[in-house]
């Protein structure tokens, strides 16, 4: 019986290839780069709530009449002796504050002092007044306005 060499060579070659592939180094299959777990997005921090602005002085106006909102309706800086004289004070901001008015005569003599506590929630107008049934003496006067103990304005006026 005669064996041909060609099938034998093919069989041996196939066995050698299989043996070599089984004996070769096995490198681990390349793993995809590990991605870090997603980081939970921090909730957006809202901007801090704006604290309401503290009460601050805006303006003072003098006159002989005020309306229901304490606004001067008859403005002036010269009054008759029998007039009631008003100081209308505008403030802005929110919070508790104390407004004061000190009325004085030309020589510094205090005619009247008054203070009012306010609980503002925005712009406000506060009125102070002085009157004298027998009439004020003619001369120069002044009203000093304070907010929380600090003088914020001064207005001169006269009685003629």
What range defines the domain where residue 138 resides?
56-159
The CATH code of the domain that includes 128 is 2.60.40.1930
Dihedrals phi, psi of 26, to nearest 5 degrees? -100, 115
- Give how far Cα 115 sits from Cα of 28, 34, 52, 119, 133, Å: 88, 73, 23, 13, 22
Q: 5-63 pLDDT, tens per residue?
A: 565 554 555 555 545 555 555 555 555 556 655 655 555 665 555 555 799 999 999 99
What are the structure tokens assigned to 76, written together?
């002036």
Which helix (H) or strand (E) segment is 79 a member of?
strand 78-79
Q: Confirm whether 150 is domain-assigned.
A: yes
Q: Confirm whether 5 is domain-assigned.
A: no
The model carries a pTM of: 0.67
Q: Is 61 helix (H, G, I), strand (E, B) or coil?
A: strand
Q: Confirm whether 98 is domain-assigned.
A: yes
Q: 93-144 pLDDT, tens per residue?
A: 999 999 999 999 988 999 999 999 999 999 999 999 999 999 999 999 999 9
């Amino acid at each position: 019986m005669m064996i041909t060499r060609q099938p034998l060579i093919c069989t041996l070659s196939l066995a050698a290839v299989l043996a070599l592939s089984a004996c070769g180094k096995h490198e681990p299959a390349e793993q995809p780069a590990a991605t870090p777990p997603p980081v939970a997005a921090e909730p957006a921090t809202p901007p801090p709530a704006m604290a309401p602005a503290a009460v601050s002085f805006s303006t003072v106006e003098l006159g002989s009449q005020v309306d229901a909102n304490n606004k001067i309706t008859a403005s002036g800086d010269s009054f008759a002796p029998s007039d009631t004289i008003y100081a209308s004070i505008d403030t802005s901001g929110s919070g508790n504050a104390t407004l004061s008015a000190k009325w004085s005569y030309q020589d510094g003599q205090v005619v009247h002092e008054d203070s009012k506590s306010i609980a503002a929630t925005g712009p406000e107008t506060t009125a102070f007044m002085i009157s004298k049934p027998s009439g004020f003496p003619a001369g120069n006067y002044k009203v000093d306005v304070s907010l929380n103990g600090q003088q914020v304005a001064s207005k001169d006026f006269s009685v003629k």
